[in-house]
Amino acid sequence: MDRRQFLFASLAAAASPLAMRGAWAADTYADAFHQATARDRWLRAYGGIDHDVAAPSLRIEGRIPAGLRGTLYRNGPALFERSGIRYHHLFDGDGMVQAFRFTENGVSHEGRFVQTPKFLAEQAQQRFLQSGFGTALPGLPFATGGGLDRANVANTNVVVHARRLMALWEGGSAFELDPVTLATRGPVTWRPDLKGMPFSAHPKIEPDGTMWNVGAIPDSLAIYRIAPDGTLAQAEVLKVPGLVMNHDFAVSRDHLVFVLPDTRLDLDKLRAGRAFLEALAFPPDAPMKLLVVDKADLRQQRTFELPPGYLFHFGNAWNDGAGTLRFDYVHHESAGVLMDGLPGLMRGDAASMPPRSAVSMQVAVDLASGRVRTAAMKDVVEFPRVDPRVVGQRNRHLWLSTGMGKGLGTLMMNAVLRYDVESGKRDAFRYEPEALVEEHVFVADRASTREGAGWLVGCAYDVAYGRTSLNVFDALRLSAGPIARAWLPYGLPPGFHGNFEAA
């Protein structure tokens, strides 16, 4: 399967150094951003850092539960500037993996950059050597002469499977890390003919340890099934008409579930020197495609329509035993956050952030009749998580980040929320008036098998003090507030995703 160029070769050629001559003569993002931080100090969280960090013993308020032992791994973009040049999109920053270790002696923290070939080459020269997904830099190509792994920033998620710790990015290989030192071991190749193929950032691990993942190719989806022991059990490529931009998916007992926005690519914009992202368009009135794939036979596929919009993340999916597939995802009215909001964030333009409109969408698909029903929750949310013991099964609880109140809460997430999807009840906690809240991760209490028995663990950046806290909640009593907080002596750029590995 020589798809390791993933049909991206022609796209990369269009974004060659010759094409980049039309890019900006001078970069203004860095100056604009730093000037804006004097006015909107919360932007300082996105200034980035340029070195590894460590704190062997964090100051703790409250008491860490005795059953909470292990490591919370987090990942996200952290390095945004070199030699006065700033990336134009949040997704372009080099990935830093965080390890928060819970032991009987307390909580420690370590953050290390993933040593990708891109990072090492640019670190050696102290300047950017190529353009990014959302940043066109004059004279610098985007991932030519080596496939997309040349541009791999390993900045989106980090997962442990079969004792292997992997940093993940949308468009290329997983990078294996040492789980103790966080040292980078190198790219993961599942099979020789799959070298360099996209291995996306949102794998789904079923309760039996089977891991499913996908890789988006311009006109296809690569499907991976990894056995509980970490060996590749299956890899197939499914043809999907049109340009495929797929960030996340869901898995049920019987199906793989994809929601695919209508995506267009303007090659003329690439040739004119625009970034790959800037050459994309998402027609606002076009329905999204719901693709349902039979896990037992990947050739068995059905397509349905969902309302126009955009999405990043799923919560969970399950088959109800009566012929209905149920799942939830976070529905955005448009791709405005991706296309306008995150570039605006990088230049310090808070006014460019679109009004928050993302809501949890509950979907029921009658597989016999083809009828699709949707119901939107009222809260504006992102980053849904479920108890990992019910992935692919019926879940009652759904944890999310949300924004509450006025001020910063109208732009960014400042609270955590739990939905009881059966009763419709909600339980929430709002952080300090000026707090930037990341995805929070559910950690099961191994002393109980009851869904939801455990803790919700996640980071918040305190704007007033410029420091990050790690917070622990009783997962079923969020409104009671954190039962423990571990304070870092420094601030971390807000990350994307992570997972907990029990000791």
For the segment 312-362, what is each residue's pLDDT rounded down to a tens digit? 999 999 999 899 999 999 999 999 999 999 999 999 998 888 777 899 999
Vertex 481 angle, CA 479 and 482, to 5°: 140
Q: 351 exposed, middle or buried (CB, 10 Å; 0-12, 13-18, 19+)? A: exposed
Are 456 and 399 in contact, with CB atoms under 8 Å apart?
yes
Handedness of CA 100, 459, 394, 257 (dihedral sign): negative
Contact between residue 334 and residue 282 where contact means Cβ atoms under 8 Å apart: yes
Residue 498 has pLDDT above 50, yes or no: yes
- What integer pLDDT is reported at residue 408 of this predicted model? 67
pLDDT digit string, tens, across residues 431-461: 988 899 999 999 999 999 999 999 999 999 9
Q: What is the distance between the alpha carbons of residues 237 and 223, in angstroms, rounded to a whole number?
A: 6
pLDDT tens digits for 369-418?
Answer: 999 999 999 999 999 999 999 999 999 999 999 998 876 666 789 999 99
Extents of the domains making up the chain: 9-502
What is the per-residue pLDDT across 93-126, written as a single tens digit (0 to 9) for each? Answer: 999 999 999 999 999 999 999 999 999 999 999 9
d(CA 183, CA 113): 9
CA distance 475 to 395: 14
The pLDDT of residue 409 is 62
Q: How far apart are CA 481 and CA 95, in angstroms?
A: 30
Report how far residue 392's alpha carbon sits from residue 206's, in angstroms, rounded to the nearest whole number.
Answer: 7
Q: Output the pLDDT for position 195.
A: 94
Q: What is the pLDDT of residues 15-65, one digit of tens each?
A: 444 444 434 445 799 999 999 999 999 999 999 999 999 999 999 999 999
Q: How many residues are recorded in the chain?
A: 503
CA 25, CA 36: separation in Å to the nearest integer? 22
* pLDDT in the model for residue 141: 83
**Can you tell me the distance from the alpha carbon of 299 to that of 286, in angstroms, rounded to the nearest whole number?**
26
Q: What ranges in 347-448 are assigned the alpha helix state H?
A: none
- At 157, list the tokens: 């998620």
Question: Residue 275: what pLDDT?
Answer: 93
Can you tell me whether residue 304 is helix, strand or coil?
strand
CATH of domain 9-502: 2.130.10.10
Distances (CA, A) of 350 to 81, 103, 460: 19, 40, 19
- The predicted-structure confidence for 243-280, as pLDDT tens digits, reads as follows 888 999 999 999 999 999 999 999 999 888 899 999 99
Q: How far apart are CA 235 and CA 225, in angstroms?
A: 6
State the sign of the Cα–Cα–Cα–Cα dihedral 47, 202, 302, 370: negative
C-alpha separations of 487 from 313, 410, 417 in Å: 29, 26, 22
Instruction: Note the pLDDT tens digit of each residue in 217-237.
Output: 888 999 999 999 999 999 999
CB atoms within 10 A of CB 325: 24
Burial 81-95 (b: 16+ CB within 10 A, else e): bbeebbbbbbbbbbb
Query: Residue 14: what are its φ and ψ, rounded to 5°?
Result: -65, -25
pLDDT of 215 > 50? The answer is yes
| DSSP string over 219-285 | TEEEEEEE-TTS-EEEEEEEE-SS-------EE-SSEEEEEE---EE-HHHHHTT--TGGGEE--TT
Q: What integer pLDDT is reported at residue 145 of this predicted model?
A: 57
Q: Give the closest residue to 32 by CA, choosing from 93, 82, 88.
A: 88
Residue 305: CA count within 13 A, CB half-sphere: 6
Tally of CB atoms within 10 A around 243: 18
The C-alpha atoms of residue 299 and residue 358 are separated, in whole angstroms, by 32
Mean pLDDT of the chain: 92
Number of other residues whose CB lies within 10 A of the CB of residue 245? 19
Q: Which of helix, strand or coil describes residue 210?
A: coil
Residue type, position 305, single letter: E
| Per-residue pLDDT reduced to its tens digit, 285-294 | 999 999 999 9
**Tokens 């043809």, residue located:** 239
Q: How does pLDDT run across 170-191, given as a tens digit for each residue?
A: 999 999 999 999 999 999 999 9
Q: What is the rounded radius of gyration, in angstroms, for the C-alpha atoms of the chain?
A: 21
Give pLDDT tens digits for 146-174.
678 999 999 999 999 999 999 999 999 99
Cα–Cα dist 426/414, whole Å: 16
Q: Say how far apart CA 385 and CA 396 lie, in whole Å.
A: 12
Task: Identify residue 419 by its one-letter amino acid code.
Answer: Y
Give the count of alpha carbons within 13 A of 187, CB side only: 24
- pLDDT the model gives residue 112: 99
Give the Å distances, CA to CA, from 420 to 13, 383, 477: 49, 16, 12
